A and B are shown apart, each in its own frame.
Chain A
């Protein structure tokens, strides 16, 4: 483009006004550096327009100078956006999404609720753990108590059975006193007159030595008949009134100490004996 064409095109005026496109601005800047005529023309346009501005000047209020001076010196980093010359300043769109204060409060409230909830959850979880432990302990105790109760019931049942034997209107007690070999020993039998069942209370026999066991005998027609083994080596069983083998009839009863498992005929020492 010819120099005169450039100068008379009106482009330089747009350039000074900051209205030229980026491309035009670059073009004019380059031309101004290269040609003093272009530079002079730009200066002349600037002075004309500055003059026009001066014609229209309006004095600001007198207070403004001090106010602006404070703003300028007080906040030196208030605005540092580059203002390139002479292009129109592109307003940098602040990427700030306007959020109404209502939503700010809502967001703040949500965060507070979330934190509160987390704290509560933590507390409740701890309490839950403690409660869980307590429950497990309680369950264990309950089981123990149930077992104790069951044992007590069982023992109660046995006692009832024992008592039934003793209290039955058909039961006939007989004492089997100790023989000279065991003067302190004594046993009792309960003879059921209706069913001819025989029960023995062996609680006053001495504990059987290891490997030995008491055996009960009925004497029928002068001969001993096996009446069954007596449990005495376990303390709790010793006090149980035990049901022995039934005899149709018997003249006498005796208890001997036999080897473990018993013998078909009495071999060991006789401890007690009693006649019907």
Chain B
């Protein structure tokens, strides 16, 4: 899955620690689209989404010394940072969290339509893989991953006990892993 990267994460981390400007270029080329995807799942307004993307990169760049590779991968760290920044920005602007969330079973096709026009990165194959996820698996990942819902909020939103949130989250991610292994 990392075929697009020329550097390993370790190499990239070392480059970024030195605030290397080529490293920025590499970072942007390889991660901007994915981070922007996270933002665009929550933000409709192009201008606001661009502002958040910029702020996310500024934060990644300036806070890079706080990234601890022993605690997790760089990409995951950046995704979490971007998601939290997006949520905070929306909250500060008075947006409701669930704006982008569709509990409709057809939501898969919904966001396919939304992103297909601007997305040149993805292949049709990957899209199809997502379609294999069960709707309840998909919604739980989307709520947590793309909307920053807490366990309690997911429990309320879907109407399942708190303990079930964890196990269902796990089964959803296991499903994603199977796709990777294919």
Distance from A48 Cβ to chain B, minimum over Cβ atoms (Å): 4
Query: Nearest CB to that of A56 among chain B residues?
Result: B37
B25 lies within 8 A of A69 (CB): yes
Q: How far is the CA of A227 from the CA of B113 in the complex (A)?
A: 144
Binary interface profile of B, 68-100, with partner A (CB < 8 Å = 1, else 0)? 101111011101110111001001000000000
A57 lies within 8 A of B144 (CB): no
List, in ascending order, chain A residues with CB within 8 A of B119's CB.
Answer: 57-59
Is B129 among interface residues, defined by CB-CB distance under 8 A? Answer: yes
Query: Nearest CB to that of B116 among chain A residues?
Result: A58
Is B170 among interface residues, defined by CB-CB distance under 8 A? Answer: yes
Distance from A57 Cβ to chain B, minimum over Cβ atoms (Å): 4
> Which of B40, B91, B127, B170 is in CB contact (< 8 Å) with A13?
B170
List, in ascending order, chain A residues with CB within 8 A of B55's CB.
Answer: 79
> Which of A17, A19, A48, A68 is in CB contact (< 8 Å) with B28?
A68
The number of residue pairs between A and B whose CB atoms lie closer than 8 Å in the complex comes to 204
List, in ascending order, chain A residues with CB within 8 A of B7's CB.
Answer: none
Q: Knowing A44-B177, A48-B177 touch, does A72 contact B57 (C-beta < 8 A)?
A: yes
Query: Nearest CB to that of B166 among chain A residues?
Result: A10
Distance from B169 Cβ to chain A, minimum over Cβ atoms (Å): 5
Q: Knowing A57-B121, A83-B81 touch, does A19 contact B115 (C-beta < 8 A)?
A: no
Distance from B34 Cβ to chain A, minimum over Cβ atoms (Å): 4
Interface size class of A (residues with CB under 8 A): 35 or more
Which residues A6-57 have CB closer than 8 A to chain B? 8-14, 16-19, 29, 33, 42-57
Q: Knowing A56-B37, A56-B41 touch, does A64 contact B121 (C-beta < 8 A)?
A: no
Is B54 among interface residues, defined by CB-CB distance under 8 A? Answer: yes
Query: Nearest CB to that of A21 among chain B residues?
Result: B151
Number of interface residues of B (CB under 8 A): 74
Distance from B174 Cβ to chain A, minimum over Cβ atoms (Å): 8
Name which of A85-93, A146-154, A182-190, A211-219 contacts chain B. Answer: A85-93
Q: Knowing A13-B166, A13-B169 touch, does A43 contact B73 (C-beta < 8 A)?
A: yes
A53 lies within 8 A of B50 (CB): no
Which residues A67-100 have CB closer than 8 A to chain B? 67-69, 71-73, 75-86, 88-89, 91
A83 lies within 8 A of B41 (CB): no
Q: How far is the CA of A73 from the CA of B73 in the complex (A)?
A: 24
List, in ascending order, chain A residues with CB within 8 A of B19's CB.
Answer: 76
Distance from A10 Cβ to chain B, minimum over Cβ atoms (Å): 3
List, in ascending order, chain A residues with CB within 8 A of B75's CB.
Answer: 46, 50, 53
Is A61 among interface residues, defined by CB-CB distance under 8 A? Answer: yes
What secondary structure prevails in chain B residues at the interface with A? Answer: helix
Query: Nearest CB to that of A18 among chain B residues?
Result: B80
List, in ascending order, chain B residues with CB within 8 A of A54's CB.
Answer: 1, 34, 121-122, 126
> Which of A11, A56, A71 is in CB contact (< 8 Å) with B38?
A56
A50 lies within 8 A of B77 (CB): no
Q: Knowing A54-B126, A57-B36, A71-B58 touch, does A85 contact B80 (C-beta < 8 A)?
A: yes
Q: How far is the CA of A55 from the CA of B34 in the complex (A)?
A: 8
A64 lies within 8 A of B50 (CB): yes
Is A65 among interface residues, defined by CB-CB distance under 8 A? Answer: yes
> Which of A29, A47, A58, A68 is in CB contact (< 8 Å) with B71?
A29
Q: How far is the CA of A86 from the CA of B83 in the complex (A)?
A: 12
Distance from A178 Cβ to chain B, minimum over Cβ atoms (Å): 121
Is A60 among interface residues, defined by CB-CB distance under 8 A? Answer: yes
List, in ascending order, chain A residues with CB within 8 A of B84's CB.
Answer: 18, 88-89, 91
Q: How far is the CA of A14 from the CA of B154 in the complex (A)?
A: 12
Q: How far is the CA of A135 from the CA of B37 in the complex (A)?
A: 85
Distance from A80 Cβ to chain B, minimum over Cβ atoms (Å): 6
Task: Identify 24 residue pairs between A and B in the complex whose beta-carbon atoms are under 8 Å apart, listed by A's number.
Answer: A9-B170, A17-B80, A29-B71, A45-B177, A46-B72, A48-B173, A48-B176, A49-B145, A54-B121, A55-B130, A57-B34, A57-B122, A58-B36, A58-B121, A59-B118, A68-B28, A69-B28, A71-B57, A73-B24, A79-B59, A81-B59, A84-B66, A85-B67, A85-B72
Known: A47-B180, A89-B81. 4 other contacts (CB 8 A): A14-B169, A16-B72, A49-B145, A52-B176
